[in-house]
Amino acid sequence: MMEIIDYSVVIRTTGNAHEKYQHLLNSVSNLIPPPKEIIVVLPEGYDLPEEKLGWETYYFSPKGMIIQRTTGINKCLTKYALVCDDDVEFDVDFVQKLYNPIKKGICKLSIGPLYSFLPKRGINSFLSLIMANASPTLFHRDRYISVLRSSGYSYNRNLKMKYAKYYETQSGPWTCFFGEVEALKRINIDEEIWLDKHGYSAMDDQTMFYKGCLRGIKTMTVPNAEYIHLDAGTSKKNNRLPVMFSTGFNRVVFWHRFIYCKQRNVFQKGWARLCVHYYLMWLFMFDIYDLLRKGITWNEFLVKRNGYKSGWKYTKSDEYKKLPPA
């Protein structure tokens, strides 16, 4: 007998992913059990996508990766939600796999592993390691992702069902996740107004999952719930400068709000400062290298530098100090 799961599918889109969006719709239409509703959230002023199943409910919100997702979550009439970007595809039993650890009371949120988001093996992986950006885990083999004091992360690329059925995680890709609607609301990601402040919400995924972790809302990774990210890249198209600025700005604010401010004493705070400045030093060196080989222009170099500087300035602003406790 098919298990009934009271869930909605929430899709954030601009309506421009086309065949990749159709792949998602095909996956949704084949899900067992089927969702109770499909909620599609578009930016205000955008046309509905041409691709349709015929029983979607459409909503509009200001454009933004966070506000579009939270609009959809707030419209849910079900207990659970599968929240997707418009460029993923998955198997028919995907929701069943993600629901299992939640049904057992192990966690409130669950994700599938997305290995394509991790550094590619070889030189990319080595450089990420020495920068303290992303490193293979040494101490937390029971986790998928752990957040580092540099604001980077460590990762476990070898999630095996024979070692553990589920792996706790402190972060994960926001492209596709499942969870209790009320738990998602309790994270209050919309309080983090700085994320969408400059046209691209860099660090939004790490912010949501890590903030949930700090609030006792556990996320588990299900090793056999793999899915494919087709990467329509619609949020970055014609958006190069805002992406560059926001990446630096948001990283500094994330580090200050969720890492530095959570350290218990002056020694821990000092260590956290050392970690992030070590990381930022490497980022500066790579920006110089990119500039010299003409991978970025002088203007783009300045935009990236200004992003970091503005982030530090924002952590001293009245608006930042008025943010609710993380």
Provide φ and ψ at 320, rounded to 5°: -65, -45
The 3-state DSSP class for residue 131 equals helix
| Cα separation, 91 vs 76, whole angstroms | 23
pLDDT higher than 90, residue 237 = no
pLDDT higher than 80, residue 164 = no
**Which residue do the tokens 């087709």 mark?**
230
The 3-state DSSP class for residue 57 equals strand
Q: How far is CA 39 from CA 56, 90, 138, 220, in A?
A: 6, 18, 40, 24
Structure tokens at 32: 């067992």
What percent helix, strand, coil does the chain show, rounded to 5? 40, 15, 40
Structure tokens at 319: 């608006």
Maximum C-alpha span of the chain: 63
Is 22:13 a contact under the CB 8 Å cutoff?
no
pLDDT higher than 80, residue 325 = yes
| Cα separation, 86 vs 323, whole angstroms | 31
Give 11 or 164, the one with higher predicted confidence: 11
Question: Would you give the DSSP letter of residue 143?
Answer: B
The 3-state DSSP class for residue 238 equals coil
Is 272:262 a contact under the CB 8 Å cutoff?
no
pLDDT higher than 90, residue 133 = no
Least confident of 156-160, 187-191, 215-219: 156-160
pLDDT higher than 90, residue 163 = no
Give the chain's mean pLDDT: 93
Got the DSSP string for 241-302? Answer: HHHHHHHHHHHHHHIIIIIGGG--SHHHHHHHHHHHHHHHHHHHHHHHHHHHTTSS-HHHHH
What is the per-residue pLDDT for 317? 97
Got the DSSP string for 147-169? Answer: E-TTS-EEE-S---TTT-S-EEE
Helices vs. strands in the chain: H and E counts, helices first = 10, 13
Over residues 259-264, mean pLDDT: 95
Over residues 277-302, mean pLDDT: 94
Structure tokens at 169: 């995680």
Can you give the pTM of this predicted structure?
0.92
What is the per-residue pLDDT for 238? 63
